[in-house]
Amino acid sequence: MIISRGWGILAFLIPITIILLGISFFGKNGNATLSILFYSLIIAGTLTFLLGLIFKKKSIKKHDLYFLPLQIWGVIWLIIGIIGAIYA
């Protein structure tokens, strides 16, 4: 069961969408590489963080997934992407 409030589900939908777009546009014969995965996570983390900031300013309602706000999910995806891009 996914616990989310407001637009918190976007914390998972944005990375999945960006990864699929990265694979479809930059993959070789439809296959993913680690660099595509990690660069997609960097982009998704940035978008999620910015979207979380916008939602926090514009609405009174909370937007979180598993009790973590969208901004925190953006930072998590960004850190995973940067660490993976360095070591991949």
3-state SS of the chain is: CCCEECCCCHHHHHHHHHHHHHHHHHCECCECCHHHHHHHHHHHHHHHHHHHHHHHHHCCCCCEECCEEHHHHHHHHHHHHHHHHHHC
What are the tens digits of pLDDT across the range 25-57? Answer: 988 877 778 899 999 999 999 999 999 999 999
What is the pLDDT at residue 27? 83
- In whole angstroms, give the CA distance from residue 88 to residue 71: 25
pLDDT of residue 19 exceeding 90, the answer is: yes
What is the pLDDT at residue 3? 87
Q: Taking the complete model, does pTM exceed 0.85, yes or no?
A: yes
